[in-house]
Chain A
Amino acid sequence: MKTKKLLALLLCAMMVSALFACAQPAAPATEATEAPATEATKAPAAEATEAAPTEKITLTFSLWGDPAEQETTQKALDVYNNSQDKVYVKALQIGRDEYNEKLQTMATAGEMPDCGMVAEDTAIAWARDGLLSDVDIYAGQENLPLDYLAFKYNDKTVGYSSANEVLALWYNKAMFDAAGIPYPPTSLDKAWTWDQFVEVAKQLTIDANGKHPGETGFNKDNIVQYGAYVNQYTWQLEVWALSNGGSFFSPDGKNIVFDDAAIEGIQKVFDLHLVDNVAPLNDGTQDNGFASSLGAGNVAMCTEGQWATGFRGAGFDGIDYGVAVLPYMKEKVTIATGGPLGVFATTKHPAEAAEFLRWYGSEENSMGTILAGWWMPTKQNYYTDETLLKSWVDDCPLRAALPAEAYKTAIVDVALDTNVTHQTGWYYTPNTFEVLTKTLQPALVEAINGSKTVKEVVDSVRDAMQAALN
C-alpha cells in the first residue's frame, strides 16, 4: 500500500511540475530553431537579455528563407557581432509558411523576437494592430529606399522593403536551342505580346510523340515538355490584371476592384493550361515557382521574381537559364515586392534593434545576400551609379551567367521605370492575406481546373473579399 501511495504521490508531483513547466518562464525564450552560428559567432554568444552594463545585450532577429539564404544572412550577422561590444544578434529561423503564425503566437506570450523580417501580406496590419514598434529605422537617413518600396497605412510610411524584387520571365536556354527558337526579348521595347508568348510556348510544348498543340494527333494528356508556367500565387496574378488594364484594389487600398479587364487577364493565364495546352495544371497550393517548372526540367519558360537569380547557386546549377522581360497583354508592367524589416513591439531594446536593422538593411552590409542572387538593392544609387551597379551585377557570377547585359535591361531598367514597375497590393492594403491568400486563392482553383470561369469565381467571393479587406 505504501508503494501505491508513493506512486500516486509521485504521479501528482509529476503532474504539478508539468503544470509549472507550462507556465510562462521568467526570461524570454524562443522555441524555433536558431540559425547555426558560424565559427566566428560561437565564442561570444551572450545569453542574458537583461544585460548588466558590462554584459552584451542579446537581440533575437527572426528570418525566413531557404537554407542557402539563411547561411548568407548568418554571415552578415557574424560580421555585425564581431564589430559590436555591447550587442549580440542571434538569428531565429522560422519556415516561411508558419512565419506569421509563429510570431503572432509568440506575441500572445509577450515574447516576440526583438526584430526581424516581416511578411509582406501582414506588414501594414501588424503596424495597425501594434505588433510593430513605431521606432523609425531610417531616421536621419537621406538615401532612402525607392519610393515604391514603402509600406503605407493612412498615408504614413510604416516600413520599407529590405530588398527589391520584380517579376520577370525566366527560360531554359537548352530547350530554346533545341527548338531553334531565339531567346525571349530582354528589353521592354521588344517585349512579346501575350499572343506571341503563347505562340512560342506552343512551339516549345511537346507530347510523347513529338507533336505540338494544334497539330493533328497531339495528346494533351501525355505532354513531356511544357512551353510555359506562369506563377499563379494570387499576389503574382495581380501583374496580369494590371497588364490587361485592370486592377485588384482601389488606389487607396480600401476597396476591391477586380474589374473585367483584371478578370480577363487572369483567365488568359489559366487558359494556358485549359485552352492552349502549353502549361501544366498549377493550382497554386504548393511550391509554385521556379523549382516546380524550370527547376523540374520539363518547362521552357516560367515567371518568377528576381530572386530566381539565386537558384543557380542553390542546387539548380545543372540548368542553364536566362532572364527576359515579361510578355504583356495591353500594358507593359511588372510588380515589385520585398519583405520589410521591423522592430517588434515587445522588444526591450528598440534603439539597439533599430540600429542593427539600419546596419543590416544597408547594401554594404547585405551585399552577401545581394551577390547570392536573392536580393536586389533598395536604394536608387545602386541602380544608377555605374560603379555601384557593377558591384552587384557585373561582378556577381550568378547575374553574369544570365548574362549581366540581359539582367540590366530585363531587371534593372524595368525596376527603375516607375511607369512599368507597380507596387504589389500589400504596400497599401492592410489585409492582403485575408483577401488574396485566404479567400481568393482557394476559390480560384475552380477556375484553374476549368470547373468555373474566373468571372464566376470572382463574383462568388467578391463580397467575402470586400468583407475581409476592411
Chain B
Amino acid sequence: MNQRGACIADCLCGRLAVLLSRKCVIDMTNKKKRAKIAVKEQRAAYLFLIPALLGLTFITYVPLLAVFGISLTDLNVGHFIKGGTMPPVKYVGFENFKEIFRNPSIDFLNSIKVTVVFALVAVVLSIIYSMLIAMLLNRKMPGRGFFRAIFYIPYILPATAVMISWWFLLKYDGGLINYILVSLGLGKSYFLSAAKSAIPSLAMIAVWTSGNLIVIFLAGLQNVPRVYHEAAEIDGANAWQRFWNITIPSMTPIIFYNLLMSLVVNLQVVVPALAVTKGGPGKSTMFMTYLMYQTGFRGRELGQAGAIAFVFFIVAAILAFILFATSKSWIYDEGGEDKK
C-alpha cells in the first residue's frame, strides 16, 4: 500500500469511526424511541382487541358455559313463569345427556349420524364443484363476469326461499325435475320424499348454493404464480400434471380454509328441515340443530336442548380438530418446505 493509499485508508477508517460512533448515539436514541413506540403500539393493540375479546367472551364463551350449565338442570320454559305451576329448577347432573341418547323419541345418535353424513357429503361435493367451476371461470372466455355472478347468486338468495323453491322443483307430482325426467322417458324420483334420496338431494342443493367457495377459489387461482406453469410447460408437463402438481399444491391453504368454513356451515344445517322436510322422511333429515330447536323451542325442554347443543359443539370440535391435525400433512407451505 503506498502513502497515498494509506492516507486514504486512514481517512476512511476515521470517517467510519465517526460514522459508527454517530450511529451508536442514534441507535441509543432510536432504541428508546422504539421502546416507547412499542409500548404505545401495544396499548393500542390491546385497546383494539378489547371489542373482539368482549364479543368472544359474552357472545361465545359465556353462552357456551351457560348452555353447559343449563344442560345439567331440568329447566323448562314453564320455569320462567313467576308463580307458575312448575316445581323449582333442579340440578340433574348428566341425566339430560343420558336421556337424549336413550329416549327413542329423541334418538340423538341418529341425529349425529345424519348430520355428519350430510356435512361430509355436502363438503366434499361442494369443494369439488366449486374448484371445477372456479377453474372454468378463471379461463378467458366471453361473458366471464356474467357467469361469475350467476354462480354466486345462489349463495346470497334467502335460504328458506331457496329450499322451498327446490321443494317445488323436486316434488314427486307436479315438480319440474320429475316432469323433465318423465319427458325424457326416465322414471320419477322421490327426491325429498324418500329417506334414501333426501340427504343426497339436500347435499345437491347445498352444492348449488356454494357460490362463496367459488369466489374464494377464484381468488386463490389468480394468485398461483404463472412462472410455475410456464416452467412446467417447458419441461413438457401436460395439463393434468400441471393441475395436480402445481395448481392443487398452491391452492392447499385455500382448500383448507374452504373445507373448514364449509364443514362448519354444513354441520349447522337447519333450514332444509325447518322449511321443508321437518326432519323426515323417517328421521333421515333430523339434523342436530333441528332436533335442538324442536326439543327446546317446541318441546320446551331447555335442559335437554342444552345437552344436545353441548354434544353438538363437541362433535363439531372433534371434526375441526381432525381437519387441523391432518392439515399439516397436506398443506403446501409457501416458504418452500413441503411438510410431508
Contacts and interface: CB of A to CB of B under 8 A. Distances in A.
B54 A467 contact: no
A281 B105 contact: no
A281 B299 contact: no
Given A441-B278, A446-B282, A449-B281, A434 B105 contact: yes
A130 B286 contact: no
B234 interface: no
A125 interface: yes
Given A15-B51, A223-B173, A467-B103, A442 B283 contact: yes
Contact of A221 (B104, B182, B293, B300): B182
Contact of A104 (B85, B105, B300): B300
Chain B interface size, as a band, is 35 or more
Contact of A19 (B54, B77, B188, B276): B54
Nearest to A433: B298
Given A104-B298, A298-B174, A464-B104, 14 more contacts: A4-B44, A5-B44, A12-B51, A15-B55, A100-B298, A104-B297, A104-B300, A129-B81, A130-B86, A221-B187, A285-B280, A442-B277, A442-B279, A443-B282
A16 interface: yes
Contacts of A281: 171-173, 190, 193
Interface in B16-56: 40, 43-44, 47-48, 50-51, 54-55
Nearest to A280: B173
B51 A129 contact: no
A445 B283 contact: no
Interface stretch (A67-75, A105-113, A417-425): A105-113
Nearest to B301: A434
A130 to B, nearest CB: 3
Chain A interface size, as a band, is 35 or more
A346 interface: yes
Nearest to B107: A464
A448 interface: yes
A383 B43 CA distance: 80
Interface string A1-26: 10011011101101110010000000
Contacts of B302: 108
A377 to B, nearest CB: 31
Nearest to B195: A446
B300 A14 contact: no
A165 interface: no
B240 interface: no
Contacts of A5: 43-44, 47
A449 B190 contact: yes
B280 A449 contact: no
A419 B192 CA distance: 40
Given A434-B105, A442-B278, A286 B193 contact: no
Interface string B181-221: 01000011010111110000000000000000000000000
Contact of B298 (A15, A101, A296): A101
A285 B281 CA distance: 9
A286 to B, nearest CB: 6
A147 interface: no
Contact of B280 (A16, A108, A226, A443): A443
A395 to B, nearest CB: 38
B80 A15 contact: no
Given A15-B51, A101-B297, A128 B193 contact: no
| Candidate in B80, B103, B285 with the most chain A CB atoms within 10 angstroms | B80
B334 to A, nearest CB: 30
B82 interface: yes
Interface string A343-354: 001100000000
Given A8-B47, A438-B105, A451 B278 contact: no
Contacts of B54: 12, 15-16, 19
Interface string B245-281: 0000000000000000000000000000000111111
A76 interface: no
A222 interface: yes
A345 B84 contact: yes
Given A129-B76, A130-B86, A438 B182 contact: no
A434 B174 contact: no
B84 A130 contact: yes
A198 interface: no
A312 to B, nearest CB: 23
B138 interface: no
A34 interface: no
A444 B50 CA distance: 52
10 contacts: A100-B298, A101-B297, A285-B280, A286-B164, A298-B174, A345-B81, A441-B278, A441-B280, A446-B282, A468-B105
Contact of A107 (B80, B85, B171, B172): B80
Nearest to A435: B105
Contacts of B283: 442-443
B69 interface: no
A438 B299 contact: yes
A129 B84 contact: yes
B103 A108 contact: no
Given A442-B281, A451-B195, A129 B82 contact: no
B167 interface: yes
A102 to B, nearest CB: 9
A131 interface: yes
Interface in A274-313: 280-281, 283, 285-286, 296, 298
A439 interface: yes
Contacts of B195: 445-446, 451
A465 interface: yes
A84 B279 CA distance: 47
A15 to B, nearest CB: 4
Nearest to B276: A285
A463 interface: yes
B47 A9 contact: yes
A125 B77 CA distance: 11
Contacts of B285: 442
A11 B194 CA distance: 51
B272 to A, nearest CB: 11
Contacts of B85: 128-130
A388 to B, nearest CB: 38
